[in-house]
Amino acid sequence: MKVISILLAFINSLTGGLLILSCVSAGEAFGWIAFKTGAGILAIYFGVLTFKDGIQPMHQSRIVLSGLTLVVAGVSAVAWGIHWSIISGDVKNTILLFGGSLFIQGLTSILGIETGEISGSRP
């Protein structure tokens, strides 16, 4: 599960960077630019945390909270993408894929936590 989480963290970090760069010259509404920038920053931040946890294990509560945040953000993005698709008739595949990817990264991050071992101490 950790390998999948790290792979998705890499993909989501790259996608988050592209989302932020797409806002530079966009003539879109402020709310949409804020949403894309926030999602990009969220993906990059949690990608860095996942990489850091892969190198040197971090405290489990921080990983669980970041995983739950990604799950909530992913489900919210998918729900918003479905809502947008129904209301406008224009399917936003990028939002659905990015939201699903955030959800799966958070889920695999939570499921990849090794039980019984916190910061190198043994029971």
C-beta separation of 6 from 50 below 8 A:
yes
Boundaries of every domain in the chain: 2-111
29-54 pLDDT, tens digit each: 787 788 778 888 888 888 888 888 77
76-100 pLDDT, tens digit each: 888 888 888 888 887 777 778 888 8
